[in-house]
Amino acid sequence: MSDSSTAAAMPAARGASRSVFIATLPLTLAVFIGFFMVGLPMPVLPLYVDGTLAMGALAVGIVAGLQFAAALLSRAAAGALADRRGPKRAVTCGLLLGCVAGLFYLLASSLSERPSAAFAALLAGRAVMGCAESLIVTGALSWGVARVGPPHAGRVMAWVGVAIYAAFALGAPAGMRVHDWAGFAGVAWATVLIPLGALALVLPQRAPQALGGVRPPFYRVLGMVWLPGLGLALSSVGFGMITGFVSLLFAGRGWDGAAWMFTAFGAGFILARVFFAGLPDRLGGARVASACVLVEAAGLWLIWGGGAPVWAYAGAVLTGAGYSLAFPAFGVEAVRRVPPASRGMAMGAYVAFLDVALGLGSPAAGWLAGVRGYAAVFALGGVCAMAALAVGVALRNKP
């Protein structure tokens, strides 16, 4: 390509990125608000279950895991609703279910003197919140792709992902502040009211019509996207290692500053999406995914083998940057493998691989840490990222 054509292409790419960002901004903000609602109670629930209700560590684990299990089990239904009734309906239902989950939290708060009844109400709220999360993200991804077109699917996934992780990063500390000020009841009321702001953004938006055409059953859609989904699952193992074991790694090595690892990971993650979100659409998902998981593997192995905190921080930046674009890059490959009428179900099936990776990867890493130490889990994450590279190569060779 000549210098003049390259110069012409660069403004065009920037213009496309800007237009996609503007077109999907209301959806991105709605996702941010919706996942802020999801993240708000996360640090508070263990305190309420183990402290106020005195139910113990096992109950804390059940409460934490139930939402993710409900999200996984509802992916197919969320995708089917987005395809058959439109993605706006899916997002709206998800936000309304978030309000319902908040009402269950309120019920649990009012039953605090009856721990078993409060715990049952809390479990119901977590199950409903898992379904809400599934509907919001599946509907938003499907809606964004319908609004700007499949050629820009990577940018849609990138911006929705930024909204999700930013919401988690801000929602958790905000939840602690609300809890300190108004207790668990205050967190419950916030969970009820916050989705209303997202509904105010979503309801005025024009709803894309559900597309006609053949809609294969979920198991067939799963078969269409299993290879990019496998790439997503393998590349997500390192993310689970960062969130679950980095504090224990620092403590075991006698280092301070583990909290900065999350900052470093987040910086790499967000910067990669801000500056390179359009690469999967321009260069192809498989090619970008292959490069990204190499960066991720290098970062995880740097955390594993680094002899000082500064090397671990550098590894966290590389891990965040590599993982950041793996999700949209493999997602572009998933979108192009399904008929237009099944994009919502494809998004549900694709994201389900992330649920499985985080649900199975953390227990497996915990077993490995008990046998080989906490550093070994980051070596495992690097191996999984290299396995994702093999998936990327396979996708490049498969039409």
Whole-angstrom CA distances from 365 to 128, 220, 373, 378, 386 are 28, 31, 10, 9, 17
Per-domain boundaries in the chain: 18-202, 218-397
Express each pLDDT in 327-343 by its tens digit: 888 888 887 777 666 66
**Rounded distance between C-alpha atoms, residue 63 and residue 130, angstroms:** 11
Q: Please give the full DSSP string across 298-355, using - where no structure is assigned.
A: HHHHHHHH-SSHHHHHHHHHHHHHHHHHHHHHHHHHHHTTS-GGGHHHHHHHHHHHHH
Q: Quote the tokens at residue 397.
A: 């060779």
3-state secondary structure of 374: coil
Distances (CA, A) of 71 to 139, 292, 349, 359: 13, 27, 11, 11
Q: Which of 19-23, 126-130, 368-372 has the highest mean pLDDT?
A: 126-130
Question: Following DSSP, what letter does each residue of 73-117 receive, concatenated?
Answer: HTHHHHHHHHHHH-HHHHHHHHHHHHHHHHHHHHHHHHTTTSHHH
Which backbone phi and psi does 113 adopt, to 5 degrees? -80, -5
174-227 residue pLDDT tens: 888 888 888 889 989 999 998 888 888 888 877 666 555 556 666 677 777 778
Report domain 18-202's class. mainly alpha
Distance CA 220, CA 211 (A): 18
Q: What is the pLDDT of residues 76-100, one digit of tens each?
A: 788 778 777 778 888 899 999 999 9
**Confidence band, pLDDT 50/70/90 cuts, at residue 9:** very low
CA 123 to chain CA centroid, Å, is: 22
Q: Cβ-count burial of 397 within 10 angstroms (0-12 exposed, 13-18 middle, 19+ buried)?
A: exposed
- pLDDT for position 298: 93
Least confident window among 45-54, 152-161, 182-191, 270-279 = 152-161
Residue 369 pLDDT exceeds 80: no
User: Distances from the Cα of 296 to the Cαs of 126, 234, 235, 320, 355, in angstroms?
Assistant: 32, 11, 8, 7, 19
Q: Would 18-202 and 218-397 be classified into the same CATH topology? A: yes
Flag whether pLDDT at 13 surpasses 50. Answer: no
| Architecture of the 218-397 domain | Up-down Bundle (1.20)
pLDDT of residue 151: 67
How far apart are alpha carbons 152 and 155 in whole angstroms? 5
**In b/e form, how buried is each residue of 77-91, taking b as 16+ CB within 10 angstroms?**
bbbbbbbebbbbbbb
Percent of the chain with pLDDT over 90: 11
Share of the chain above pLDDT 70, in %: 85
The structure's pTM equals: 0.70
| pLDDT score for 214 | 54
The least confident of 91-95, 202-206, 231-235, 345-349 is 345-349
> How many CB atoms within 10 Å of residue 50?
16
